[in-house]
Structure 1
Amino acid sequence: MLYRMWWRTEDVLPLAETTMAAAHRSAGRRRRPALLLTSGPDGLSLTGSPGPAGQHPTAAKARAETWVRPATAPPAPEFRVVLPLPRCRIGRHSLWRLLRKASLRRLHWISITVDPSPGGRVRYEAAASRGDVLPPGITWTPMAVICDVVGGKAFRALVADGHTSVDDGAVLARFPRYAVQLMATHLDGLRLGDMPGEHPLLRFDGDTVVVEWEHGEFGFTRRIECDRINPDANGCYAIGAYQWPWTLLPTSDDGTHQEDAATGQDQPLPPSPWPATPT
């Protein structure tokens, strides 16, 4: 079985740079700088290893942007894979060159696809947006969700049953296009009273949602793109997946249903593109 995982380029590149620098300082030693991909109960992480064969890993880690399975689901396999930096080639590029190229071209994400079976291969990719970011084959339920990143406002979404974000326990949410449009308008209104960078901004580039943050410098404000989100098979968007801590809107004291308080509650939600059977 193949496992595809996503990391932010800005998280992995400094780790690789530190590892390469440490290996360069190790004069007289056999240097094989690498990143170590480790899968365990606390998720997937990358660590640097300036020594040979993945020995002597550094303390710094980069966590994968991924989900946690329900307690009732079978546990994910644990594995440890050594990813050489200067010698593991993708076409004509090593992993080290791919990371630097991704940074220069503003490709926000690095994916690593691993076959943990003996002799299994590893594949790398740099991309502006993530694919297969949410678990397939699970049940999705219409809910209202809130998040401090969007000023605490509620929006309608489809929420994954039983699955949460690995780092903060946030729910996994997919938003229909109309909810994203309302979210973009809401965030654009917040910026009028914000300091630059206080809240993100959303805009559509065709069918792709672009996530930007404002940066103020020397009296000027510019927008910096940090992510691109493509729609899934039903036209829904995983806005802020694993980065914005979405939580369910609590039920009010009068027993109002969650959806009744959500922006765009009069709009229909699309059906789930996957079977309504938990994995």
Structure 2
Amino acid sequence: MAPAHPRADQPADRNLAPAAASRIWFHLDDVIPLAAHAASTPSHGLTSAQLLARAPLMPALAWEATLDGDRLISNGQPGWFDADGNPHAARGRTWVGPRYGTIAPALDEVGFLPVRGMPGSTFHLVDWLQQAAAGGAHWLNLDITHRRPVIGPSGLAVSDQRGDLYPPGATWAEASVACVPATGGGLYPALVADGYASNRGGVLARFDRDTAARMVDDLQRARAHQPGFHAVLRWAGDRIEVYTENTDGLTGLRRYDVVGPDPDGRYPIGAYLWPWLCMDNLL
């Protein structure tokens, strides 16, 4: 069954124009475990987002815009903490740069996202996210253009392909890039956004169709003949599907992104997921 949400059935956002400052993008692999944690824990703690929303105590995620960027955390108790003692968080994936910083419009803002419906509502965020992922979605975006203390269905959308990929007015420079964790030793010509990087590490790179096709072929050969992990790319019409190994003990591959051509016909493969590095100064 398709997710019961007025925007969930829209086609993937293929508008790769400069980012609107009001949309924050999260990968569903990061968000769904947090939502499941909030939905399944026996009790829940107060958060500043809930207090500002004057909402009842209930399973929820809290959105926070901080100096470290946008993040979602669970209010479930017992809490979920990382090895460094900080709350486990799903972090928004965006660019950082000398002029624009991140696309978050302000700092120290919060929002309350009920995981189970507010009184009188039939919308359950955790179910909707899980159904969206089962239907092929990979990205969640929060639209905070007209943000209210409680972020409801009208402020949420999912898609198989990420939008808002490039910094406004970015200058693009030619470079040779590599991403050893995903592509092994392959070196590829690209255009990179001068002075910008992903907040997850690496430059913002986009590739012409011939280079994208070579990358698809290289990774297929590597998976067949070289030991170790290799990402897999497959054509689906004019788009490229990105696969990784299953991490749950099952055999086979799991799709976790879809990349289409931008208005210039270039492919931002691995954007905000793979740490592409410029190699020109290292060779």
Q: State the TM-score, normalized to the length of structure 2.
A: 0.74
Question: 1:48/1:217 Cα in 2 relative to 1: closer, same or farther (>3 Å)?
Answer: closer
Is 1:114–1:120's contact at 8 Å kept on the other side of the alignment?
A: no
Residue 223 of structure 1 pairs with residue 253 of structure 2: yes
Correspondence for 1:10: 29
Is 1:67–1:166's contact at 8 Å kept on the other side of the alignment?
A: yes
Same amino acid, percent of matched pairs: 31
* CA-CA distance at 1:132 after TM superposition: 1.7
Is 1:216–1:222's contact at 8 Å kept on the other side of the alignment?
A: no
Correspondence for 2:242: 211
221-230 or 181-190, which moves further after superposition?
A: 221-230
2:229 aligns with one of 180, 189, 198: 198
Q: RCO (CA 8 Å, sep 6+): is it higher in 1 or 2?
A: 2
* CA-CA distance at 1:135 after TM superposition: 2.0
Correspondence for 1:189: 221
Residue type at the aligned position of 1:159? V
Q: Which has the higher strand share?
A: 1
Residue type at the aligned position of 1:171? V
* CA-CA distance at 1:2 after TM superposition: 4.6
Is 2:200–2:275's contact at 8 Å kept on the other side of the alignment?
A: no
Residue 112 of structure 1 pairs with residue 142 of structure 2: yes
In 1, distance between residues paired with 2:100 and 2:29? Answer: 32
Residue type at the aligned position of 2:92? A
* CA-CA distance at 1:101 after TM superposition: 1.2
Question: 1:247/1:38 Cα in 2 relative to 1: closer, same or farther (>3 Å)?
Answer: same
79-88 or 236-245, which moves further after superposition?
A: 79-88
1:12-27, aligned counterparts within 5 Å? 12-22=31-41, 24-25=42-43
In 2, distance between residues paired with 1:155 and 1:77? Answer: 36
* CA-CA distance at 1:222 after TM superposition: 2.7
Unaligned residue ranges in structure 1 (runs of 5+): 254-279
In 2, distance between residues paired with 1:100 and 1:141? Answer: 39
* CA-CA distance at 1:187 after TM superposition: 1.1
Is 2:112–2:149's contact at 8 Å kept on the other side of the alignment?
A: no
In 1, distance between residues paired with 2:213 and 2:204? Answer: 19
116-125 or 206-215, which moves further after superposition?
A: 116-125
Question: 1:120/1:13 Cα in 2 relative to 1: closer, same or farther (>3 Å)?
Answer: closer
SS in structure 2 opposite 1:93? coil
- 1:80-111 CA-to-partner distances (Å, cap 9, x unmatched) read 2222222369x963323321212322322211
* CA-CA distance at 1:125 after TM superposition: 1.1
Residue type at the aligned position of 1:249? M
In 1, distance between residues paired with 2:57 and 2:80? Answer: 13
Correspondence for 2:52: none
1:1-279, aligned counterparts within 5 Å? 2-22=21-41, 24-25=42-43, 31-50=57-76, 59-70=87-98, 72-73=99-100, 76-78=105-107, 79-87=109-117, 93-115=123-145, 123-148=155-180, 149-168=182-201, 170-195=202-227, 198-214=229-245, 222-251=252-281
Question: 1:25/1:251 Cα in 2 relative to 1: closer, same or farther (>3 Å)?
Answer: closer
Correspondence for 2:10: none
- 1:9-67 CA-to-partner distances (Å, cap 9, x unmatched) read 12111101111222x446xxx5322211111221111101248xxxx997221111211
* CA-CA distance at 1:241 after TM superposition: 1.0
- 1:129-175 CA-to-partner distances (Å, cap 9, x unmatched) read 1112222321111211111021122111110111111132x111111
For the aligned residue pairs, the C-alpha RMSD in angstroms reads 3.1
Q: Pick the structure with greater CA Rg.
A: 1
In 2, distance between residues paired with 1:194 and 1:74? Answer: 39
Question: 1:240/1:88 Cα in 2 relative to 1: closer, same or farther (>3 Å)?
Answer: farther
In 2, distance between residues paired with 1:57 and 1:81? Answer: 19
Q: State the TM-score, normalized to the length of structure 1.
A: 0.75
Residue type at the aligned position of 2:254? I
Question: 1:224/1:41 Cα in 2 relative to 1: closer, same or farther (>3 Å)?
Answer: same
